[in-house]
Structures are given as structure tokens and as C-alpha cells.
Amino acid sequence: MRFTILLCVAGLLAAGPVFGEARDTLRLKIAPPRVMVPETVVLTDSIPGAFIEKLDALYEMWYVTKHGGEGDGGLFYEPEGGQVSMPDSVYLARLDSLNSAIRLSYNDIVRNYIEVYVVRGRAQSGALLGLSDYYFPIFEEVLAREGLPLELKYLPVIESALNPRAFSRAGACGLWQFMYATGKMYGLEITSFVDERRDPVKSSEAAVRYLKDLYKIYEDWILVIAAYNCGPGNVNKAIRRSGGKKNYWDIYYLLPRETRGYVPAFIGAMYLFNYYDKHNIAVVGNELPSMCDTIMVSDALHFEQVTSLLDISVEQLRDLNPQYRADIVPAGFGKVYPLRMPYNYVTEFIDRQDTIFAYHRAAYFDESDRMADPRARFKKHAHVAPANRAKLVYTVREGDVIGGIAMKFGVRLNDLKYWNGKTRNLIRVGEKLVVYVPKDKVDYYKSKADTRYVGPASNNDAEVEPLNEGEYFYYTVKQGDNLWSIAKKFEGISNRDIMRWNGLSEKAVRKLKPGQKLKIKI
């Protein structure tokens, strides 16, 4: 009889519109029975210890960083005396009165997570409330712009406890806990110097795009929230194993254990932020400024260059710009990055930006090999001057070709290209070419048109090369000038060039005065 029934089922399934679907369904019927959710299941579950440990660790990290010391050795506790919880009817009525765009359920599991925040974790909850004053407006602006429910701002509360530097064991990072691959897929830059998963604005924009993509799949925000935590693959498998049910609580026991508590924790966090005062939870203030502004930086900048000249701490810059991993804004070469700072410092930064960028620049950045012409960056590897030869400089004239110049001075073409850092045979009229000739033939080759004698060959030619009259002019230092701003006025010239031509030391550079004359090579 059992065999006959199975055959009938197989025949009905084979008659379906898609044979592949029938085959998959048949395999489910024959396979060992899976765990199914009963129609009248009583939902009850304990809070995983890992969830509490995660919240405790994230807050402990924040507390110790801000206040020093070793923390208070455990933030989850049962208050002594007084009312520690509310009747179910109170919790239920309060959730209903939120009039949320996201459907909020209530049961014993949700109750447990509500009390994690308002009873057992009151110290942490106070800190979360304080941090939300700074982070929630950022989240709300992005969510509102994209037309998503503002209630989704509570996701980072359970993802990272509003800690932009939070890093999970699985490798998720930032307020929204993006994995590396997901972050890259949604356009976040992750390098040795920048990790935009930690950028409150950029990561929020990426998270909103991800949430919108998930909503296109499920059209249910509760399932979207679950999928954000464990991935759409796990949610899809739970739906299929339940027989196609798409109610979160119908698939609750088919989801990964850590995800089961994700939606209840979301509801618990939402309850906390709306009714913390009903539980006498004090808001712990944070040190983040209420008003900030953003400056776009187009050249490399170290935080200490800013803090040395403005009355702002490195720690505050780090808190406002957690995406920069080494206290460096890696701007330059066409890349522009934002620097967030308190509103009252922005005007002063703009007024003093040339001085800020030039401040101890050589100590923070080695720019000896940064060329103004990107095509000439290979010149950072200086050539070795040949022994027993003298150096001449030849000016390219109309009609010259590099091969003809090599023949004119009796040198190999490859040597001439090597001395001048060339990989191609292209030369330009007026270009200066270095040529090394035998010392006993200097007078002969000096007679060549537009050729000047520099001196005996030396590996330090670049440091001691003289400037003849007519090859340079004098620049008069003006009020507010520094070596960095002066060099930027002349294409192809760096601050190091000016220091070399004028014999300036690092100490002398810091003492430039208005009216001082500087040699600038033409």
C-alpha cells in the first residue's frame, strides 16, 4: 500500500508544469523527514550566550577606550530591588502604539530580548542611547532619501552596538557589519589605509542598497532583517523546508540559531529607544560633537598635522573618521577623500590649510619619488653615473632625434635613454638631456650647440648641480607662503627641488620669512 501511494504521488508530480520542480519535490518526500514547525507550536527560546557576550564585549571595548581602566567586569546584571520587568500587556500595548512601518510581533522570545536591554543590560543601554544622538541622524538621512522605513536605523544597534570599529570573528566590520566580499560588491573601498565599512556615511549608503535588494526578494521587512543577518540563502532554505511559509515565526526554528534571536533583538532595541525613560534608564553622554562638517581633502594628510596646529585631539579625529586605518587620509593623484571634523574648526582649517599640509611633511610622507608628471614616475630610480666621464646637458633642437643625438656624442642609444630615464625614443624640443662623455673630450663636445658642461660625473649630481645665470629666477616669499604652497605654483617642481636649489635644511624651511628670495629653476 505504501509503495502504491508513493507511485501515485510521483505520477501527480510528474504531471506538473515543470518536471524539474516535481523531481525535487519527490526527492523531499522520499528523503528522511525534516524538522517541521507544528501548526500550534509554542514559541519559546533562550537567549544564546554568544549574543550577550557579543554585546558585553562591544560595550566593554567602548567603555575602556573612552574612560580608561578595565571596565566594571560584566555589564549584564539583575537589578536589586524595585520592579525589574513589566506585564506582557504593557509591553504589547507599547509596541502597538509605535505604529511602526515594520510589523512587530510579541511573544516570550521578544520579551526576553526586551529585558536584555531594559533590565539586565541597563549600563550598556545608556551608552547606546548616548551614541545614537550622533549616529541616528546619519542613518535616518540615508533611509529617508531612499524611501526605506526609518525603523531600520536600529539594525546597527544589534549588529555592532553602534561601534564603527566593531570586528566580528567571521570578519564582518563596521556599524553595519559588512563582510569583505559584500562590502566590495556594494562599492565600499577597502585598502591598507581606508576601510569604508567603518565609514558611518558610506557604509549606511551601502547597507540601504543591500536592504533594498533584499526587499525585492521577500517584500517583507521582517524577512529582510533576518536575511541581512544570515544571508538570503539561509532564509530561502528555511522557507523551502517549511513548505513555502513566509512568516518569520513559522520558519523560526529552521533558521540558524544566531539568526533566530536577530529579529527579536531588533524589536527589543526598538522598544528600548522608545521607552527607556519608562524604565528609568539614564542616557550616558558621548564625546562626539553634535554639529560636524566635511572637508574634501585632495592631498595626503596625517591626523597629527591637523591636531598640531588646531585645538583638536587625534582621538576625536579618529572617532569622527574611523574609516582611516593609519591616521592618514590617503588623498592625492586624482583621489579626493572626506575629512569630518567639528563644525567650529572648519573655517580655521580652510584658512590655514597650506600651513597644515606643509607642517613636518617630510616626517610624515616621503615624497622624494613623487613626480609632477605621472609619465615620469619611473625616474624615482636614479641612474648610476659612469666612472671617469664628465656630465654634459644637451638641449633638444628642432629636427633632433634621440638616435642622432647619441651618434653626435659617440654614446650608445640605450645608455642615453638610461641616463635620462626614457623607455621610448620620444623627445621634445627644448628638453634637457644628460650625456656622459670622456673627460679628455669635454672641450670638443662642449662646442656642440646648446650644450653646457656640468662637471665630473658623480652619483650625487642631482644634489650639487650648479645653476648658471639665466637658468633660474628669484621668487619673493609672501605673507602666508610656505615651501609647499610655493612649489605648487610651478608645474613640475617639488618642495624638495626648492630646498636643493637654495641649500635649505628642514630647520631653515620652517623659518621662511616674507621678503626672502628663493631660486626657482626655469
Distance, in Å, from the CA atom of 199 to the CA atom of 281, rounded to the nearest integer, reads 29
Residue 98, classed as helix, strand or coil, is coil
Is residue 485 one of the residues assigned to a domain?
Answer: yes
233: pLDDT strictly greater than 80: yes
241: pLDDT strictly greater than 90: yes
If asked whether residues 399 and 448 sit together in one domain, one would say: yes
Distance, in Å, from the CA atom of 409 to the CA atom of 388, rounded to the nearest integer, reads 16
What percentage of the chain carries pLDDT values higher than 90? 41
Contacts of range 462-471, beta carbons closer than 8 Å, 24 or more positions apart: 462/382, 462/500, 463/500, 467/501, 467/519, 467/521, 471/521, 471/522
- Structural domain total, the chain: 5
- Residues 476-480 have a mean pLDDT of 82
What percentage of the chain carries pLDDT values higher than 70? 75
State the chain's mean pLDDT as an integer: 78
Nearest to 281 by CA among 118, 140, 409: 118
Which strand (E) or helix (H) includes residue 138? helix 122-146
Q: pLDDT per residue over 263-275, tens digit each?
A: 999 999 999 999 9
Residues noted as catalytic? 159
Task: Dig out the grid coordinates for 135 from the structure.
Answer: 549616529
Is residue 85 one of the residues assigned to a domain?
Answer: no
pLDDT of the residue at 57 = 55
Nearest to 302 by CA among 288, 320, 315, 314: 314
pLDDT confidence of 375, banded at 50, 70, 90? very low
If asked whether residues 444 and 484 sit together in one domain, one would say: no
Which range has highest mean pLDDT (29-38, 224-233, 476-485)? 224-233
If asked whether residues 404 and 358 sit together in one domain, one would say: no
Residue 437, strand partner residues: 390
If asked whether residues 97 and 151 sit together in one domain, one would say: yes
pLDDT confidence of 47, banded at 50, 70, 90? low
Is residue 448 one of the residues assigned to a domain?
Answer: yes
Alpha helices in 15-107 (DSSP H): 19-30, 49-67, 88-97
pTM of the predicted structure, to 2 decimals: 0.61
Distance, in Å, from the CA atom of 279 to the CA atom of 237, rounded to the nearest integer, reads 39
Burial of 67 (0-12, 13-18, 19+ CB in 10 A): exposed
Yes or no: say if 465 and 452 are a contact pair by the CB < 8 Å rule. no
Q: Which of 228, 253, 279 is the last residue of a domain?
A: 279
If asked whether residues 344 and 215 sit together in one domain, one would say: no
Give the contacts of 381 (CB within 8 A, at least 6 positions apart): none
CATH number of the domain where residue 480 is located:
3.10.350.10
Q: Please report the sign of the dihedral spanned by the C-alpha atoms of residue 515, residue 518, residue 520, residue 521.
A: positive
Distance, in Å, from the CA atom of 207 to the CA atom of 53, rounded to the nearest integer, reads 25
If asked whether residues 447 and 477 sit together in one domain, one would say: no
pLDDT of the residue at 377 = 43
If asked whether residues 213 and 341 sit together in one domain, one would say: no
Is residue 160 one of the residues assigned to a domain?
Answer: yes
Is residue 83 one of the residues assigned to a domain?
Answer: no
If asked whether residues 262 and 306 sit together in one domain, one would say: no
473: pLDDT strictly greater than 80: no
Q: pLDDT per residue over 395-449, tens digit each?
A: 888 888 888 888 888 888 888 888 887 777 888 888 888 898 888 888 778 776 4
Is residue 75 one of the residues assigned to a domain?
Answer: no
If asked whether residues 453 and 480 sit together in one domain, one would say: no
Is residue 52 one of the residues assigned to a domain?
Answer: no
pLDDT of the residue at 59 = 52
23: pLDDT strictly greater than 60: no
If asked whether residues 273 and 179 sit together in one domain, one would say: yes
If asked whether residues 440 and 510 sit together in one domain, one would say: no
Nearest to 461 by CA among 393, 367, 376: 393
Give the contacts of 498 (CB within 8 A, at least 6 positions apart): 483, 486, 487, 504, 518, 519, 520
* The residue to which cell 517584500 is assigned: 219
Nearest to 286 by CA among 116, 61, 140, 126: 126
Is residue 78 one of the residues assigned to a domain?
Answer: no
* The residue to which cell 556599524 is assigned: 175
CATH number of the domain where residue 172 is located:
1.10.530.10
If asked whether residues 252 and 138 sit together in one domain, one would say: yes
Task: Give the range of the structural domain holding residue 100, as residue numbers without chain letter.
Answer: 91-279
pLDDT of the residue at 382 = 53
